[in-house]
Structure 1
Amino acid sequence: MPTPSREFVRATLAPGGPVVSAVGYRTRGQTPALHRGLPSPYLTLIFSLDGPIASGLTPEQARGGDAWRTEIVLGSLHQRPAYVVQPEHEAGIQLAVHPLAARTLFGLPAAELTGQVVCSGTDVLGRAGVEVHERICELTDWGDRFGRLAAFIKGRVARSEGASGVRPEVAEAWTWLARHRGAGTLKGLAAHVALSERRLSTLFRVETGLTPKQAARLMRFQHAKAAAVRAVAAGVPPDLARIAAECGYYDHSHLVRDFHQYTGASPSAWLAEECRNIQAGAHGGGEDWDA
């Protein structure tokens, strides 16, 4: 039996561009398992290099005949985990895409993806997406694959230059929330962009599919989860009470409630499940790993 192997390669496709992070992954000889794809303040785009990825809203769906199966996966700004089948062998590239870049890259606002936790990236990207997927599957070097994807994204950005369609108030509101790591108030946010709370919430939801409060919760959870992951990667038990306080939660119980909503498990249970991925480097930099 071959020795199990796990490879993760991180890259920066275009600093300051629509792609927040890019990770190439390849595993061989692993025990088949079920992985939780967690909610995130980013859209997830995965190009599989090893056949269709099977996923679902429940473990039963992911493993059953009605699983979502696609070689280009596009994940929305969802509010609960998706379940992803991890076979013995898998490979691909996962991109975290800024939701306000959805119009630029996909030709539609992130809000139009909200009703679908996972959809086929082929349907959204069209023939151009199929062609870039075929091309990166033919390549064998990670650098060449990332380079091809970077060229593809650059081309889509160039074609939509000056026509993002995102209202400046919404863009500034997202930036403000990110700067405050999801810990700011709606009142403070509305005052910052000079809109009423109701008007801001309406515009924000039309663009992203989320209310500002939901986006803030996702950002806050992302930072708390990243802090817990860093502790585990360093071999230190995470101090959840301290993490909760530093990330703007009311208390430890508040953080645990968000973990249950977004992962379907307690913090300790989720970290135990992900320990192998964390140690292998899949969670480097605190980004979620959904493939």
Structure 2
Amino acid sequence: MYVAPGGVAADTGTVDTVATSEFRATRLAVPGVATTVGYRSTGLPQGTHLGLPSPYLTFIFSLEGPVETTFDPDRGADDRQATTILLSGLHTSPAFVVQPERQSGIQLAINPLASRALFGVPAGELPLVGEGEDVLGSAAERLRQRLMQELPWEQGFAEVGRYLRRRLEDSRTPPPRAELVAGWTWIARHRGSGSMEGLSRHVHLGPRQLSTLFDREFGVSPKRLSRLMRFHNAKRRVVATTHGSGESVADIAADCGYADHSHLVREFREFTSLSPTGWLEHERRNVQAETYPYPED
């Protein structure tokens, strides 16, 4: 789930200030951390934007106010969950995130295989959206308070890196089963386009047992995880068209393993509520924030 500012926004009013956004991305030398993005924005139109499904767990230290999120915008403000340290498991529908006028934070994409070591529980036991302090304890909030002291990005990233490395060193949670590590890696290597039969043969487990183990460990079935990875790959390629890749949506669909152009559009509508071109139009101002690599990268 990506919830930094600049997502799909629906204006609910006007602001007099000019919107400005800053993104700073880095790679922490911490096993299991795919990317780390610092973001700071002011003058944003108040509204909502989409936190999209991803094959990563989302971990955010909000440095302004809480992040307010819901998966059902029709239920109103009472259904929103406000978190200052957001920790999100895998999900396959968009999260609707309130976009205030000011936002600042550090967001990490976490490989689900690292959930046990970093968070003490399998990814499948994490909430769709939850308060990170409830899982990580008061040390996480103390770190957030230090990060709120307007540290330079590099210093803030270093603080987060030290905190996560300590958690890895102190972890006593057993790692995932070898078959699950092999299965997740196989799906990533095939970028979500491998068959379930091929996956079962690779890990020497029957489809039913494999599905049970994946649901327990990751919170999604092997087929769902494959769809997330395939969508993630296709979304990156759609973003690349804004940088002159020259690919059409039909080209991307064929190369990413979709049956045809319409299949990719249906997948985009399920995961984003918009078509590829519609999503890109809303995201165009801040596609620079789409920095997550593919899981295999």
| Selected match of 1:65 from 58, 75, 78 | 78
1:126 aligns with 2:137: yes
1:205-224 counterparts in 2 under 5 A? 205-224=215-234
1:212-251 counterparts in 2 under 5 A? 212-232=222-242, 234=243, 239-251=248-260
2:82 aligned counterpart, secondary structure: strand
Structure 1 unaligned spans of 5+:
none
1:92 aligned counterpart, secondary structure: strand
| Selected match of 1:96 from 86, 97, 109 | 109
Measure how far apart 1:98 and its partner are. Answer: 0.7
1:77-156 counterparts in 2 under 5 A? 77-113=90-126, 116-156=127-167
Tell me the residue number matched to 1:14: 29
User: 1:54-90 CA deviation, whole Å, 9 max, x = no partner?
Assistant: 11113345x6233111111112101100001111111
**Counterpart-to-counterpart distance in 2, 1:135 and 1:102:** 24
Over 3 Å counting, the alpha-carbon distance change for 1:48 and 1:38 in structure 2 is same
**Counterpart-to-counterpart distance in 2, 1:2 and 1:29:** 5
Identity %, equivalent residues: 45
TM-score by length of 2: 0.89
Tell me the residue number matched to 2:184: 174
| Selected match of 1:259 from 264, 268, 291 | 268
| Selected match of 2:291 from 263, 284, 288 | 284
| Runs of 4+ residues over 2 Å off in structure 1 | 1-4, 58-61, 235-238, 284-287
8 Å CA contact 1:82–1:117 kept in 2: the answer is no
**Counterpart-to-counterpart distance in 2, 1:4 and 1:79:** 30
8 Å CA contact 1:6–1:28 kept in 2: the answer is yes
1:78 aligned counterpart, secondary structure: coil
Measure how far apart 1:236 and its partner are. Answer: 6.4
**Counterpart-to-counterpart distance in 2, 1:192 and 1:70:** 40
1:138 aligned counterpart, secondary structure: coil
User: 1:225-278 CA deviation, whole Å, 9 max, x = no partner?
Assistant: 00001112x156751110011111111111111111111122122111111111
Matching residue's letter, 1:228: V
What root-mean-square deviation, in Å, do the aligned CA atoms of Structure 1 and Structure 2 show? 1.7
User: 1:77-131 CA deviation, whole Å, 9 max, x = no partner?
Assistant: 0110000111111100110011111111111111112xx4211111111112111
User: 1:181-213 CA deviation, whole Å, 9 max, x = no partner?
Assistant: 011111111111122222222212211111111
8 Å CA contact 2:67–2:97 kept in 1: the answer is yes
TM-score by length of 1: 0.91
**Counterpart-to-counterpart distance in 1, 2:289 and 2:167:** 28
Name the count of aligned residue pairs. 279
